[in-house]
Copies of this chain bind each other. A is one copy, B any other.
Amino acid sequence: MSENGRKTSRKSGLPPGALIHVGSKKVDHVKVSVIDYNEDIYSEKICEQPSDCFEFKDSETVSWINIDGLHDTEVIAKIGNHFDLHSLTIEDVLNTNHRPKIEEFQNHIFITLKMLGISKNKTGIVHEQVSFILGKNWIISFQEQEGDIFDSIRMRLKERKGIIRDKGADYLFYRLIDTVVDNYFYVTDYISDVSEKLEEKILISPTQESLREIQKLKKQLINLRKITNPLREVVSTIEKDANDLIEESTGPYFRDVYEHIIQINDTIETQRDMASSIMDLYLTGVSNKMNEVMKLLTIIATIFIPLTFIAGIYGMNFEHMPELHWKYGYHIAWGIMILITLIMVIYFKKKKWL
């Protein structure tokens, strides 16, 4: 998974159908695996050749073809051609910098979105592009690398838990998207935690380091929003456009996913407000620290400058300075200086600077 997907190096000038994998190569070998099931039967298969999965296109059973690794464009192209995918769809699958989108065709629905996770050292958010194509009785999923968050679905399919085996490909489609979206909550929780700790830290003491952390938090939120915001429209499109591929009874489930996305977007917006608020706190903290410094300077300076002046007076070398000859002159000078100090201290106390 990449921590930064900013660059959008497009293959300018090339035709739309030119299949080039945009992104870094992440696995050695493209792995194609199939899970095929209906109410009664269940089978798993790993395809050595892309063509090994062609049979599942027209089978009566529901087939989930999962492809890990996107760098071998030839494999992808072969599968794409067999399953009648539009050339632009295949291009979008291969471009891992694409924003989430949905494309509805005559015989399939194409969706691309991002799986999100926390990096292993817990310091950042990682994301991986995943694309789903829903056809009649089959789903093809494309992932950048092996290892995903769908194991619980596989387990439930295998062990026939719940209603998943009784339902069609559209329900599996929902379950896959729902799993991806549910995982976003971990990320928003993580962000909330980070932001809360940061706030607490800054309220105690704002440091240069916290500035970097605020900056990082802001960027994460901006990137997150770019990932989750378009999803709203994507899922809303599935839900609203009545479609041959999606049964009416699956509709409420997509509405549920939609609600979750709204909630995630809400949280992200809230966190953005929080981040500005934390920046304000930081600035105020810095400014308060400066005030403290200025106060100390002012207290020391306003007490000692007049005293030093008095000492300076009686350090003058005029021949005729009567006070110098007084017996208690020195003590009187001290007295005056102590008096001035007291007055100053009382003044500062009154001003609540001490």
Binding site for B on A (CB under 8 A): 6-18, 86, 88, 98-99, 101, 103, 149-153, 156, 161-164, 175, 178-179, 182-183, 185-186, 188-189, 192, 199, 203, 205, 208, 211-212, 215, 218-219, 222, 226, 252-253, 255-256, 259-260, 262-263, 266-267, 270, 273-274, 277, 279-284, 286-291, 293-298, 300-302, 304-309, 311-321, 323-330, 333, 352-353
Contact = CB atoms under 8 A, between A and B. Distances in A.
A88 to B, nearest CB: 5
B253 A88 contact: yes
Contact of A12 (B186, B263, B315): B186
Contacts of A149: 12-13
Nearest to A322: B330
Contacts of A186: 12
A324 to B, nearest CB: 5
Contacts of A152: 13-14
A328 B317 contact: no
A214 to B, nearest CB: 9
Nearest to A267: B8
A327 B319 CA distance: 8
A314 B314 contact: no
A128 B274 CA distance: 23
A56 B165 CA distance: 35
Contacts of A294: 290, 293-294, 297-298
Contact of A320 (B255, B281, B297, B329): B329
Max chain B C-beta neighbours (<10 A), residue from A211, A212, A282, A308? A308
Nearest to A297: B298
A255 B88 CA distance: 10
Given A296-B302, A318-B330, A330-B318, A178 B308 contact: no
B162 A15 contact: yes
Contacts of A326: 318, 320
Contacts of A14: 152
A167 to B, nearest CB: 10
B308 A263 contact: no
Contacts of A304: 305-306, 308-309
A326 to B, nearest CB: 8
A269 B311 CA distance: 62
A286 B287 contact: yes
A117 B294 CA distance: 44
A349 to B, nearest CB: 14
B306 A189 contact: no
Contact of A208 (B11, B179, B288, B312): B288
Contacts of A98: 259, 263
A8 to B, nearest CB: 5
A104 to B, nearest CB: 10
Contacts of A323: 318
Contact of A86 (B252, B302, B311): B252
Nearest to A17: B162
A58 to B, nearest CB: 24
Given A283-B284, A312-B312, 14 more contacts: A8-B189, A8-B263, A8-B267, A10-B182, A10-B185, A12-B183, A15-B164, A88-B253, A286-B288, A286-B291, A294-B297, A307-B312, A315-B317, A320-B327
